[in-house]
Amino acid sequence: MKVFNDISQFQSTNAVVTIGIFDGVHRGHIEILNRIKELAVSYNGESVVVTLWPHPRFVLQPENNELRLLASLDEKIDLIDKQGINNLIILPFDIRLANITYDRFVSDYIVGRIRARHVVVGFNHHFGKDRKGTFENLQKSAREHGIQAERLDPVIIHDIRVSSSGIRHMIEEGRISAANEALGYPYFLNGTVVEGNKLGKTLGYPTANIGLSEPLKLLPRNGVYAVLVRVKGKTYQGMLNIGIRPTIALPKHDRTIEVNLFDFQEDIYHEPIKVAFLEWIRCERKFDSLQELTEQIAVDKSEVLKILQAFSDKNRLV
């Protein structure tokens, strides 16, 4: 896949294009990507994805600090690449771009620069200034320029419409299985192994503390999880805790990410690490003693091993 950070460098003929944020590149997005690939073949052309970065809400609502991302830019690029797309154009989103009207966006970008023959969007797609670019307006502009436009129906799973915002809610609530089904892959974090207080080793369960590669990445709710871990080129089973470690008296209560890799003894400080979440086990809670905490960790590991044993693809990391 060719990646363009400057749309003026893009050149193609018979392009079939889609536009969106594509946070998480979930199963609804994949339907769109499959459609533009199919159409590109029929036009003897190329598939083109146009995405926005940073997320428009960070630009339009800078005072709102609540939004967290399902995927960093690098993760999004990788996820789209895995779908076999020919070209990805990353449009820097700023106030200037936000103020371009939908009809001018079609004439200047979709037609003028990309030279698209066909545009495909999702069921809830809006674009242009004040989000006035509805599908009906897109169709109108497309007809004026002699190109085709189509909108796909939403993907429905268990009577729920798949969307990035819906998946964020699932992850925030610890409903990892539901989120993974909607994503089409296990939700994951990328980071680096950082120094911790080494309490896990004292308890008999050494942990790797993870510093996120993308600070704005969405963390699942506090608690214990069954996970798969990719480090130093290999995949391992493990259990992970997100939270403030309430049993330990600490001066700060920042959320930490700690993972215990099963059957693993290597030193991995400063190594890149990737964690895929399979299932939420329990809430984080305060124990009366470290002995009680240790006993609970043993119970947790037993539960995690049952989940990992039932998981069909033990190496399934995106």
- What is the pLDDT, as a whole number, of residue 92? 96
Which three-class secondary structure state does DSSP give residue 81?
helix
pLDDT band at 133 (very low <50, low <70, confident <90, very high): confident
- What is the pLDDT, as a whole number, of residue 45? 97
Over residues 251-286, the pLDDT tens digits come to 556 889 999 999 998 899 999 999 999 999 999 888
Q: Which CATH class is domain 186-310?
A: mainly beta
Over range 169-190, report the average pLDDT.
Answer: 97
Beta-carbon contacts of 209 under 8 Å, excluding residues fewer than 6 positions away, are: 193, 194, 195, 196, 256, 257, 258
Domain range 2-157, CATH architecture = 3-Layer(aba) Sandwich (3.40)
Question: Cβ(230)–Cβ(318) under 8 Å?
Answer: no
**pLDDT at residue 117 greater than cutoff 90:** yes
Q: Residue 270: which of 214, 194, 218 has the closest Cα?
A: 194
In the chain, CATH 3.40.50.620 covers 2-157
Which three-class secondary structure state does DSSP give residue 127?
strand
Amino acid in position 118: H
pLDDT band at 131 (very low <50, low <70, confident <90, very high): confident
Over range 16-40, report the average pLDDT.
Answer: 98
Distance of CA 13 to the CA centre of its chain: 30
- pTM of the full predicted structure? 0.93
In the chain, CATH 2.40.30.30 covers 186-310
